[in-house]
A and B are shown apart, each in its own frame.
Chain A
Amino acid sequence: MCSNDFKILKQGAEAKLYLGNYLGKPTVIKERFKKKYRHPDLDESITKERIKNEARSIVRAKVAGVKTPSLYLVDFERRRIYMQYFEHSVTVKDFIINIKKKYTDDSAAKLNKVARIIGENVRKLHIHNIIHSDLTTSNMLLVKDDEKDINQELVIIDFGLSYIDTRAEDKGVDLYVLERALISTHNDCPDLFSKILEGYKAYSNTNIKEILHKFEDVRARGRKRTMVG
């Protein structure tokens, strides 16, 4: 249960999202509810670790130059993270679907631009060894520029599954997760991922060969390492 004027926005397997006003700002509360099948002590420590992990990645991403929601309160007692809600935003998923729906002359250019920005931002996370683990177009927002109504800034959300790792393998898997997500959500944009990858490569050269090599490996075998042999 969440207090006062907060309205439920979404319910997932791990958490409920509420929307309301907190400290004078439009706010999302992510509340990780209790799992009755777990021992209470274990449940508490798992939840606490996950909240810490998510908040830590959100803060690190900011320093990496990737826009993420501001954090207003991390509350272990109530099992919640209070964070910024972007009122004037669309998910990249809806943005792409809308572009596809009403095709205009500049549609391709718009798609390419957004793909490049996505690639750059994923690269920024990876340079700082942040593995998001759930890169989908629903977990990316485009925030509208108030004056011109142009979708300017990309925000990456939901770091619930993220972790820190330096290995190229993990970055390759992260890219693979994104590719798979695009294939299932945007199968009418076949070259979207390759454009994203171009942005990813163009942003920085560091370690790029190894990451792309690992990505190809992962692609060939699937996300999990084979347990055979």
Chain B
Amino acid sequence: MSDYQYTSYLDPELKTSLKIFLFKNVNNVDDIRKNIIGGVWKCAAIKPSLVLDPFQVIVAANRAAIAEKFGNMITKTVHSEIIYNLSISKNISQSLKKFGIDQDESLLLCFLSTDDDNEFESVVKQVDGEQCPLTELSRYTDIKQVKDVYKLGSVGKDTDLLDIIVSRIVTKNFVTF
């Protein structure tokens, strides 16, 4: 199981890492949603179809954790802040709806944790689905939807989409696209 765990360190001042898990054929999406919304599970569940690369989530999560540290989050929890950050819209409920899970069968589960924090392990066990290595993410990415949600319809075909996406994520609070 732990082979499929993907960890990335965030800003060195945070002493926090981001753990990402990819699941497919998930049968208990409703329970997962309930647990996250109810605050029982401290994690974020994201639609993999809108994620081009794990780095996109890393940038959004880092920005969320920094906002938490400095006390200027837009949403209520750091986990909803990750999802809000992924969207370039400033509308919170639309952002959460778009990037959060709904009736999806596949999902990305993201945890922010410190080194001695293993809370994620018990949560991951409760997901009724198949874990996949994050390297398989591209199978779930829907480029057309990604372009649509990040308003990249007009860019040339040689454009580095991830470059524009992460740059838009970190400037969403003061740039309109």
Partner-B contacts on A (CB < 8 A): 3-4, 22-25, 52, 55-56, 58-60, 62-63, 65, 70-75, 77, 84
Q: How far is the CB of A4 from chain B (nearest CB, A)?
A: 5
Q: Is B73 an interface residue (CB 8 A)?
A: no
Pairwise interchain contact B11-A73, C-beta atoms closer than 8 A: yes
Interface string of B162-177 (1 = CB under 8 A from A): 1110111011001100
Pairwise interchain contact B167-A70, C-beta atoms closer than 8 A: yes
Pairwise interchain contact A23-B10, C-beta atoms closer than 8 A: yes
Partner-A contacts on B (CB < 8 A): 8-13, 55, 58-59, 62-63, 66, 70, 72, 154-156, 159, 162-164, 166-168, 170-171, 174-175
Cβ of A58: which chain B residues have Cβ within 8 Å of it? 167
Give Cα A24–Cα B8 distance, bound, in whole angstroms.
Answer: 8
Pairwise interchain contact B163-A73, C-beta atoms closer than 8 A: no
Measured CB to CB, the nearest residue on chain B to A4 is B12
Pairwise interchain contact A56-B171, C-beta atoms closer than 8 A: yes
Give Cα A2–Cα B13 distance, bound, in whole angstroms.
Answer: 10
Pairwise interchain contact A72-B159, C-beta atoms closer than 8 A: no
3 tightest A-B CB contacts, nearest first: A71-B167, A70-B163, A4-B12
Given contacts A23-B59, A65-B156, A65-B159, A52 and B167 within 8 Å (CB-CB): no
Q: How far is the CB of A47 from chain B (nearest CB, A)?
A: 14
Measured CB to CB, the nearest residue on chain A to B164 is A62
Given contacts A65-B159, A73-B170, A59 and B175 within 8 Å (CB-CB): yes
Give Cα A59–Cα B174 distance, bound, in whole angstroms.
Answer: 11
Measured CB to CB, the nearest residue on chain B to A70 is B163
Beyond A60-B175, A70-B167, 18 extra complex contacts between A and B, CB < 8 Å: A3-B12, A3-B13, A23-B9, A23-B11, A24-B9, A24-B58, A56-B175, A59-B175, A62-B159, A63-B164, A70-B162, A71-B167, A72-B62, A73-B59, A73-B63, A73-B66, A74-B170, A77-B66
Cβ of A3: which chain B residues have Cβ within 8 Å of it? 12-13
Given contacts A23-B8, A56-B175, A71 and B166 within 8 Å (CB-CB): yes
Q: How far is the CB of B68 from chain A (nearest CB, A)?
A: 12
Cβ of A77: which chain B residues have Cβ within 8 Å of it? 66, 70, 72
Cβ of B156: which chain A residues have Cβ within 8 Å of it? 65
Residue from A24, A62, A65, A71 within 8 A of B170 (CB atoms) = A71
Q: How far is the CB of A89 from chain B (nearest CB, A)?
A: 15
Cβ of A60: which chain B residues have Cβ within 8 Å of it? 175
